[in-house]
Amino acid sequence: MSEHIDRFDPRETTQLDIRRLSPALVEAARQLPSATLHEAAGKVGALPAAIKPAAPSFRVCGSAVPVHAPGGDNLWLHRAIYAAAPGDVLVVSVADAYEYGYWGEVMSTAALVRQLGGLVIDACVRDGGLLEGIGFPVFARGLAIQGTGKDFGARGWINAPTRMGGVTVHPGDLIVGDEDGVVCIPHTSVETVIAASHARETAEADQLRRLKAGETTLAIFGWE
């Protein structure tokens, strides 16, 4: 006689219909560095600095699908792959249970087939030598071989606001990650921040020109 398992219905805490950024805004943001967007937004939105690309070539940009998974369990990440839409970025918190390999070759392949935009996880992943070859962008704290479980009775959330470090990530927020780190820009301010980022890039180009012409940073910024 098989053991009865109390199953939690994931539909209770999964929201499929979210407000996503337009493709034009995502493409505009893709051209900008994460640090520039962070500064242009008023120095807000920086996700934990420990989260880095799993391969140097990885860059991520898209609408956030926040996921909260129980520590040491990756069933909700599997579910999120199929709850998300093409271009979406999974942004996963795991209640500070960092030292597990929540994601690897199989899940990257599944997410690539689904045409998702990437994964940002405040924890570790595995199969580090294979992820770059698969080509699905993964940002994580590092690599860990400790295996995860799949508790069908455990509660998680998909597309509910998720806290990551000092930032609350809401569904549909802009997520941009590169070699410097990952930033989250609130959905409602993305257009303004992109415009401010372009102005900042123009100003920095002029500052570099002046430095190469012999001026000092103290003079350029009025700190003398």
Q: What is the pTM of this model?
A: 0.94
Three-state SS letters, 78-116: HHHHHHCCCCCEEEEECCCCCCCECCCHHHHHHHHHCCC
Residue 143 DSSP SS3? strand
106 is in an annotated binding site: yes
Mean pLDDT of 148-163: 96
- Residues 6+ positions from 188 with CB-CB distance below 8 Å: none
* 60 labeled binding residue: no
> What confidence tens digit (pLDDT) does each residue in 90-101 have?
999 998 999 999
The answer on whether 127 is annotated among ligand-binding residues is: yes
Distances (CA, A) of 184 to 21, 52, 124, 143, 208: 13, 14, 20, 23, 27
What are the tens digits of pLDDT across the range 27-52? 999 999 999 999 999 999 999 999 99
- Which domains does the chain possess? 10-187 (3.50.30.40)
- 126 annotated ligand-binding residue: yes
Which tokens go with 77? 């990440």
Find, among 87, 86, 88, 98, the residue nearest to 169 by Cα: 88
